[in-house]
Amino acid sequence: MLSLKQKKAIVTGGGSGIGRAVALLFAEQGAHVGVADFNEAQANEVVNEIKSKGGLASALIVNVAEQEQVIASFKSFGSINILVNSAGISHIGRVTTTSQEDFDRVYNVNVKGVYNCLYAALPVMKENGGGVILNMSSVAAVVGLNDRFAYSMSKGAVLAMTLSVAKDYIKDNIRCNCISPARVHTPFVDGFLKKNYPGQEAEMFEKLSKTQPIGRMGTPDEISKLVLYLCSDEASFITGTDYPIDGGFIRLNS
């Protein structure tokens, strides 16, 4: 069950957070994982960890916002059976506190970055006779969140792109889904609290955790298990769907 043997999978943002957890789990399940990340040290660290456990992995050092880099990097990896678009950045602010530079930065990574990876991977999958794409959306795509204007915009776009790709490539045996996590405890959260609430990290962490009805944040490992299922052959009847994984955030907060 959920074996990825003989599969080649690229995980963007694979050097940290959710992407790292996905890359490690995919390798455990037998996939050859392309750990795609802008941070060379983090990508190599994940690759070395996978190899130390007998797995197969390659580091793909790439800025997903740059299409030529993405195309060249994906081409170097060869065949692609699975693509997980996990690379992304956040931003705090409403419309009037979001500068044009901030808006463009979020758009370039979270929207254009996903487009670039789809653009590079889809022809390869089509030539291979099929494949699976999993995009990382967010509860922010469907729920209004305070001070998350640019981030919400970008994740709404990811959801729309997911549906479009699923529709356009269904006859090519290519499935495309997305998942929408609520707050997940990643290094980003720790860095955000340290920067914005020095000396109050524990207090604010508890406060943010309790915004989920379940009473805590998710973990990258929990997210990775849903990603694994949706990318496995066991999920072959699922496409064009968004899966919230949110501790009850969307349905139980209203």
Give Cα 28 distance to the centre of its chain. Answer: 18
Six-digit token string for 137: 């959306």
Q: Which residues pair with 184 in a beta bridge?
A: 218
Distance between CA atoms of residues 22 and 16, nearest Å: 10
Catalytic residue among 107, 115, 119, 151: 151
SS3 (DSSP) at 59: strand
Q: What angle do CA 176, 33, 192 make, to 5 degrees?
A: 80
Distance between CA atoms of residues 149 and 127, nearest Å: 38
Helix (H) or strand (E) holding 1, with range, is none
- Residue 122 neighbours by CB distance under 10 Å: 20
**Is residue 243 flagged as an active site residue?**
no
Of 134, 128, 152, whose CA–CA distance to 225 is shortest?
Answer: 134
Q: How far apart are the first and last CA of the chain?
A: 37
Distance between CA atoms of residues 35 and 47, nearest Å: 7
Q: Are 84 and 178 contacting, i.e. CB atoms less than 8 angstroms apart?
A: no
**Residue positions annotated with a catalytic role:** 151
